[in-house]
Amino acid sequence: MTTISAASPPIGRTVKKWLLPAVPFAILVALWGLAVLLFDPPVGVLPSPALVFEAPFNSDPYLANVGASVQRLILGFLVAASTGVVVGVAAGLSKPIAEFLGPLTTFMNALSGIAWIPLAVAWFGPGTGMVVFIVWNAAFFLVFGNTMLGVRLVPDVLQNGLLTLGASRMDVIRQVIVPGAMPYIMSGLRSGLGFGWRAVIAAELVGASLGLGAWIFEQQEFSRMDNIMAGALTIGVIGMVMDRWLLAPLERRTIERWGMVGSAS
Amino acid sequence: MTVPTGGAAQAAPPTISVEGLSHSFTDPQTRKTVHALDDVNLEILPGDFVTVVGPSGCGKTTLLNILAGFIRPSAGKAFVNGRAIERPGADRGVVFQELAILPWRTVYRNIAHGLEIQGVAKPEIDERVNRMTSLVGLEGFEGHYPHQLSGGMRQRVAVARTWVSDPEIILMDEPFAAVDAMTRLTLQEELNDLTVRTGKTVFFITHSVEEAVFLGDRVMALSARPGRIKEEVHVPVPRAERSWERMSHDEALQDTVEHVLSLVRGEAVEPTGQDG
Amino acid sequence: MVKPASTTTATGKDLGAVRAAQSESPGLFGVAGLSSVIRALLPFVVAILAWWAIWAVLDPPEIILVSPASVFGSFIDSIAEGALPTFIARSLARLGIGTLIAIGLGVPMGWLLGLDEDVAQAAEPIMRFFNAVSGIAWLPAMIIWFGFTETTIQAVIVYTMLFPVAFNAMIGVRTIPKRYRDACRTMGAGTLRIIRDVYMPGSFPSVMTGLRLGIGFGWRALIAGEFVVGTTAGGGLGFFIFDARTQGVIGKVMAGMIVLGVLWLLMDRLILRPIEETINVKWGAVSA
């Protein structure tokens, strides 16, 4: 269609695309640095940007904690993804299963993740097992729900087409159902991972001695604000990298490849 | 607005005049420069019904967007009543290609919207909207929301909303493209009736030659990109006497359709048409 | 985000071809004639029976699992003591206040982002980043800044809700067809008028979606906040559960969890979703 303004040259656009987002970050860091200079707050309340950026290099347990959190996330997420997809496909194909699991999962989804932490501590004791359970709990219902929805929305025509060619039920599931539902599955995996990461942090906050969540909570007792902020920012960076650079492109490619309508956000 | 229809208004100054209009823009996808219009000259007199017909992508909509004030032309000028067009204004009502009535307003409130914006007093809004709804056959649907209506009904709302504010000129951009063929015939006759009765000045864009001939006093045949006026064709039968019934019998009208068709047909070389 | 909860009400797309080929009869449980209420309750009955069976067979220690009956007993006790109702009220009040603040900040923010391409290009990445940091991760820092107080809990909720609300308000504005704006301009409307008549109502459905999403996130953040800060900040449902676990009363823990789930469902089904659905029914699909 027609554009109204005279189009800006491509070079200017590229610069704008990379420069504009950097500006707020730069302003924020500058203001933060300025505030520290002007008001000289106790280092336990607001350390300078430099101190926070150095914190990971000065603190030995930093990498071990990051590693522990990421490991738990991956573990819990893998279990959630595989169980969620399998059960989701089953429920999408079979009405009795869907009718049975539907109300239960709706309810469980309403209190998924964080609310289970105290009970999980009682069951598994503090540590990795409990965190993995919480991650599974936070992600499973999203993966399940989206998979079931995706399977249901695969047009019957496609399945019939394959069946008339003499395909078996497993063929249909492998070649039609799963690919057809893939955009929904991807979108479920993506939000599942997001919920899972938050759940890791929350679980570690109250029920682990290792991991980013545990670490920043422990540092709070020593008023090590530099470590706390470094930890919080690390949590953000990891969450962002996973979502934006790993799962969002994957989801986009799935949607583009199979030409299904995706979802916002 | 009691100017007689037809070309009888020679003495009156043109309501819209377009001089040496050219426009090019950069396609946001391909980054290529597109020459949409080339040296278009045009005069629309009060009470005129001018239709523009041409192949897909010939710059018809660009021309309308310039007259509406959404786009500034690259070269040349467009005037309304002697004033250069710079921005959209209430003197030029637009009926859009896609439906632009608001889904969250009822039929009544959609039609009243323009009047509300212009600050017309409530009793007068009531009276004018009621007159309009009966004029376009929307009585009884005032409380409905757009999604509850058929395509044809929605299009009537779009027309009524523009008409009720009584703008000097109405610009219409393929308003009936999205409705089914039967409804379209009805809507076209209704529109003809409405314009004859109200004596409105209308600038109407379409890719259907028959529609252009059926509705217009004059038909501008546009060439493929860059759009240029190939010929201005006068339609021989007065608008007040037209009907689809007559269109199918009248030889003069048939010949006009043939003639315009021959002008446009040679132009439809681009396979990249976007509308059917 | 695809709403997983909607799967229960989604598209009555019936028996797929595979099932048709299988030619199954009415249903595993023979519930074809039963009312939908019983149909929805049946899974819960089965689940509770299974729980009971597991408890009876394994005979686990009381700090691991208790019977449904004893959870119900704990529930009644907690209500009688008055602790549970007070804590429910406190948690809901926190969520309510957080919601209001998040709407007040997030919606205008989202509108601004939706209206101005350049502002969006500049501000979206930093907002995505801080959204990824998540409110829960700020808990330790907030404890230092605000202490173990109400303010800390409230700040975590608002922080958590703010981004989904803002992003959806932005999406709402962006997906409004440009023609609506153009049409209003041809009728002589100025910018303020267009914001009032087009952008505000047009983005409303999306704002509601963001709100539902945000409250879902905020609800979890609230629970986490109350786990950590609840002791000194006057309790709350999260504190109730956490405290019960510290005392080793699993019956109370589970009762609290069930209350949590039921409350959320009630909120979602009785308030949030009806508003969304009413709008959809009344206006149809708003964005083209």
Model confidence pLDDT, tens digit, residues C176-199: 988 899 899 988 888 899 999 999
Total number of domains in chain A? 2
Residue C25, SS3 per DSSP:
coil
Beta partners for B49?
B202
pLDDT confidence of B20, banded at 50, 70, 90?
confident
A137 shares its domain with A152: yes
ipTM: 0.86
Percent of chain A at pLDDT exceeding 90: 53
Percent of chain B at pLDDT exceeding 70: 92
A92 shares its domain with A220: yes
A29 shares its domain with A138: no
A78 shares its domain with A200: yes
Domain membership flag for residue A263: no
Retrieve residue A92's tokens. Answer: 């999408």
Closest chain B C-alpha to A9 CA, distance in angstroms: 9
- The pLDDT assigned to A169 comes to 77
Retrieve residue B160's tokens. Answer: 């009524």
Neighbours of B236 (CB within 10 A): 12
Mean pLDDT, range B221-231, rounded to an integer: 84
Retrieve residue B97's tokens. Answer: 């290609």
Domain membership flag for residue A79: yes
Q: What is the DSSP string of chain A?
A: ---SSPPPPHHHHHHHHHHHHHHHHHHHHHHHHHHHHHH---TTT---HHHHHHHHHH-THHHHHHHHHHHHHHHHHHHHHHHHHHHHHHHHH-HHHHHHHHHHHHHHHHT-GGGGHHHHHHHH-SSHHHHHHHHHHHHHHHHHHHHHHHHHTS-HHHHHHHHHTT--HHHHIIIIIHHHHHHHHHHHHHHHHHHHHHHHHHHHHHH-SSSHHHHHHHHHHTT-HHHHHHHHHHHHHHHHIIIIIIIHHHHHHHHHHHT------
Retrieve residue A165's tokens. Answer: 């060619």
> Which has the higher per-residue pLDDT, A5 or C55?
C55
Q: What letter does residue C32 receive in the DSSP assignment?
A: T
A151 shares its domain with A225: yes
A134 shares its domain with A49: yes
Retrieve residue B126's tokens. Answer: 């009531």
What rounded mean pLDDT belongs to chain C? Answer: 84
Instruction: Tell me whether residues A6 and B25 touch, CB distance under 8 A.
Output: yes
A22 shares its domain with A73: no
Q: Is the pLDDT of residue C85 over 70?
A: yes
Most confident of B134-138, C37-41, C133-137: C133-137
Chain A contact for C163 (CB, 8 A cutoff): no
Distance from C-alpha of C285 to C-alpha of C223, rounded to nearest angstrom = 35
A174 shares its domain with A63: yes
Domain membership flag for residue A3: no
Q: Is the pLDDT of residue B3 over 90?
A: no
Q: What are phi and psi of B30, to 5 degrees?
A: -90, -10
Domain membership flag for residue A102: yes
Q: Which of C41, C136, C227 is nearest residue A198 as measured by Cβ atoms? A: C136
Q: Is the pLDDT of residue C233 over 90?
A: no
CATH of the domain at A237: 1.10.3720.10
Residue A188: list chain C partners with CB under 8 A: 2, 4
Mean pLDDT, range A134-153, rounded to an integer: 93
Q: Are B118 and C188 in contact (CB under 8 A)?
A: yes
A51 shares its domain with A24: no
Mean pLDDT, range C258-280, rounded to an integer: 88
Residue C242: list chain A partners with CB under 8 A: 117-118, 206
A15 shares its domain with A110: no
Q: What is the 3-state secondary structure (H, E, C) of chain B?
A: CCCCCCCCCCCCCCCEEEEEEEEEEECCCCCCEEEEEEEEEEEECCCCEEEEECCCCCCHHHHHHHHHCCCCCCEEEEEECCEECCCCCCCEEEECCCCCCCCCCCHHHHHHHHHHHCCCCHHHHHHHHHHHHHHCCCCCCCCCCHHHCCHHHHHHHHHHHHHHCCCCEEEEECCCCCCCHHHHHHHHHHHHHHHHHHCCEEEEEECCHHHHHHHCCEEEEECCCCECEEEEEECCCCHHHCCHHHHHHCHHHHHHHHHHHHHHHCCCCCCCCCCC
Closest chain B C-alpha to A1 CA, distance in angstroms: 8
Q: Range of A23's domain?
A: 8-40
Question: Between the CA of residue A163 and those of A61, A157, A178, what are the distances in Å?
Answer: 57, 10, 15
Q: Alpha helices of C116-199 — where are they, by DSSP H?
A: 117-133, 139-146, 150-174, 178-186, 191-194
- The pLDDT assigned to C281 comes to 82
A203 shares its domain with A175: yes
Domain membership flag for residue A103: yes
Contacts with B195 (C-beta within 8 Å, 6 or more apart), sequence order: B5, B49, B202, B215, B239
> Which has the higher per-residue pLDDT, B78 or A59?
B78
* Angular region, A40: left φ>0, alpha ψ -120 to 50, beta rest: left
Domain membership flag for residue A176: yes
Mean pLDDT, range A152-165, rounded to an integer: 77
Closest chain C C-alpha to A25 CA, distance in angstroms: 7
Q: Which residue has the tokens 């409307």?
A: C189
Domain membership flag for residue A2: no
Amino acid present at C69: A
Instruction: Tell me whether residues A109 and C254 touch, CB distance under 8 A.
Output: no
A126 shares its domain with A163: yes
Instruction: Tell me whether residues B28 and A2 touch, CB distance under 8 A.
Output: no
Contacts with C164 (C-beta within 8 Å, 6 or more apart), sequence order: A265, C106, C131, C210, C213, C214, C217
Query: Domains in chain C, please, with CATH?
Result: 15-59 (no CATH), 68-283 (1.10.3720.10)
Instruction: Tell me whether residues C27 and A96 touch, CB distance under 8 A.
Output: yes
Q: Are B171 and B203 in contact (CB under 8 A)?
A: yes
Point out the least confidently predicted range of A221-230, B22-31, C92-101: B22-31
Mean pLDDT, range A81-110, rounded to an integer: 89
- The pLDDT assigned to B2 comes to 42
Domain membership flag for residue A265: no
Residue A104: list chain C partners with CB under 8 A: 43-44, 47
